[in-house]
């Protein structure tokens, strides 16, 4: 009998990427194997994102492509899950634009997916009700979800409406998962959540045994054998306690990379965004990081052209960027997201103004990042080798503890090892170097 194949197309953030690893685990448990393209798949599953309306349009286009395939092969099964189907307007859009979709599924309740598949005639055998094992893409670095949902209601963001209130996973469950990953040879874990710094806030203290917070979790995970590096995303500056910096400074495994999305440098705009911190508070946090961990990298997300942002507000953002000197920044132009509070705010900024501001921000930030990367030359940095470089197979690629990508010549069998690399060049956004010695085996 021909092997039945599945294909998963994922959009959006690392949370979605990890949800897709869980979906892949379910499909493999059901006896399916991964297809290399949608053309050879018997079942196509879309894991969608709804953070930007432009992303939704792209997703609808991709689903339509699968719809065209289904016209030729009516037995093809199409399922759509993720953020877009988890709020009424998104669900409706899929229903009207893509009526050939066989089923939708909720990624906040993936344990129900086998049941849904079975309901649509897809044999899942004994999988129903069993614990799901994600099929992770990497055998070195693993995502581990620690919180689901979000309580913050930043005014531009649809996530709390789509993913519901924050729910933290029990610490013993997280620690157990990380311990098993360490036993299986994983070297790095990335803890995932919309706001990982608020981990544990939703616990009823008596049910969790004690008041666990994010710092407690880091301290416990730091003890797990085999795991060499601990990363986490996403942080929220309002909930990022100085104690987390102290723990990072003391810890061997928690990486000295702080991704702290600031979004804007104007206190007025931060208030309109409902972010709950000020420019001054943010600068104090960065100062503390640099005081305790001078080698730390600090990265961020920035939105320009938020409703009400005038020239002075934008200058405040530029001032913050120049004061902090971020290692890298993800920069976005604000676009209204229907269903969010900010979409109805007055004083929406004109597109040409937004474009000009974004260009200037990118130009300045790129120059800062270039200077920071140049300053790495001559340093010896610990790199976790991820494998041969995609562009040049004679080169290896890996990341520093500060999350900078390094390329250097070396044999493939160093994959999975920590090596020391002398940085010799800093072209573009990456670093180049030469291996000096192996840090650990
Ligand atoms: S913290 Fe704010 S931006 Fe992040 S998911 Fe929650 S509401 Fe959205």
Q: Given this model, what pLDDT does residue 29 score?
A: 85
Binding site membership of 8 for ligand 1 (Cβ less than 6 Å): no
Angular region, 263: left φ>0, alpha ψ -120 to 50, beta rest: left
Q: Report the separation in Å between the CA atom of 229 and the middle of ligand 1, taken as the mean of its atom positions.
A: 25
d(CA 69, CA 60): 14
Structure tokens at 239: 């909930």
CA distance 421 to 400: 9
DSSP H helices in 138-261? 159-163, 171-183, 205-208, 214-221, 242-250
Q: Ligand 1: which atom is nearest the Cα of residue 234?
A: 4
The model's pTM: 0.92
Helix (H) or strand (E) holding 301: strand 297-304
In angstroms, the CA 296 to CA 287 distance is 11
Q: Is the CB of 168 under 6 A from ligand 1?
A: no
Mean pLDDT by 10 residues, the chain (441 residues): 89 94 91 93 95 90 96 95 92 94 92 86 59 86 95 95 93 96 97 96 68 94 98 97 97 97 98 98 98 98 98 98 98 94 95 98 98 97 95 93 97 94 94 82 44
* Whole-number pLDDT of residue 408: 97
**Model pLDDT, residue 392:** 87
165 within ligand 1 shell (Cβ under 6 A): no
Counting Cα atoms < 13 Å in the Cβ hemisphere of 54 gives 5
Residue 157, ligand 1, Cβ within 6 A: yes
CA distance from start to end of the chain: 44
Hey, which of 153, 155, 195, 202 would you mutate to test ligand 1's pocket, going by the most ligand atoms within 8 Å of its Cβ? Answer: 195
- Looking from the CA of residue 160, the nearest atom of ligand 1 is 7
Ligand 1 probe mutation, 194, 238, 263, most atoms within 8 A of CB: 194
227 CB near ligand 1 (under 6 Å): no
**Domains in the chain, start-ordered, CATH in brackets?**
5-127 (3.40.50.12160), 380-440 (2.40.50.140)
């Amino acid at each position: 009998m021909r092997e039945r194949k599945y294909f998963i197309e994922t959009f959006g953030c690392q949370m979605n990427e990890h949800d897709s690893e869980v979906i892949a685990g379910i499909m493999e448990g059901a006896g399916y194997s991964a297809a290399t393209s949608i053309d050879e798949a018997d079942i196509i599953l879309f894991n969608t994102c709804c953070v930007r309306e432009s992303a939704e349009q792209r997703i609808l286009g991709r689903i339509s492509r699968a719809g065209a395939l289904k016209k030729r092969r009516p037995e093809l099964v199409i399922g759509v899950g993720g953020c877009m189907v988890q709020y009424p307007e998104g669900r409706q859009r899929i229903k009207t634009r893509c009526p050939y979709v066989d089923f939708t599924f909720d990624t906040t309740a993936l344990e129900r997916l086998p049941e849904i598949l079975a309901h649509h005639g897809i044999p899942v055998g004994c999988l129903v009700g069993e614990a799901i094992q994600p099929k992770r893409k990497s055998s070195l670095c693993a995502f581990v979800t620690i919180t689901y949902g979000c309580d913050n209601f930043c005014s531009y963001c649809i996530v709390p409406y789509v993913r519901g209130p924050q729910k933290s996973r029990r610490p013993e469950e997280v620690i157990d998962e990380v311990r098993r990953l360490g036993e299986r040879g994983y070297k790095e874990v990335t803890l995932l959540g919309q706001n990982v710094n608020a981990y544990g806030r939703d616990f009823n203290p008596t049910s969790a045994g004690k008041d666990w917070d994010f710092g407690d979790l880091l301290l416990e995970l730091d003890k797990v054998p085999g795991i060499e590096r601990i990363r986490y995303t996403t942080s929220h500056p309002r909930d990022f306690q100085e104690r987390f910096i102290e723990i990072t400074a003391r810890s061997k495994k928690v990486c000295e990379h702080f991704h702290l999305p600031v979004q804007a440098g104007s206190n007025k705009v931060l208030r309109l965004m409902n972010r709950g911190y000020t420019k001054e508070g943010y600068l104090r946090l960065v100062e503390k990081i640099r005081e305790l961990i001078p080698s730390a990298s600090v990265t961020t997300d920035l939105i320009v052209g938020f409703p009400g942002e005038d020239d002075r507000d934008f200058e405040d953002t530029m001032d913050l960027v120049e004061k902090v000197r971020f290692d890298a920044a993800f920069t976005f132009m604000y676009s209204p997201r229907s269903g969010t509070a900010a979409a109805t705010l007055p004083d929406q900024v004109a597109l040409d103004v937004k474009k000009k501001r974004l260009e200037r921000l990118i130009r300045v930030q790129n120059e800062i990042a270039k200077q920071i990367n140049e300053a790495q030359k001559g340093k010896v940095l610990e790199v976790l080798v991820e494998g041969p470089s995609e562009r040049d197979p004679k080169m290896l690629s890996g990341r520093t503890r500060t999350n900078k990508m390094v390329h250097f010549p070396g044999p493939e069998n160093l994959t999975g090892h920590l090596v020391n690399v002398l940085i010799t060049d800093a072209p573009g956004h990456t670093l180049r170097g030469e291996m000096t010695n192996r840090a650990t085996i």
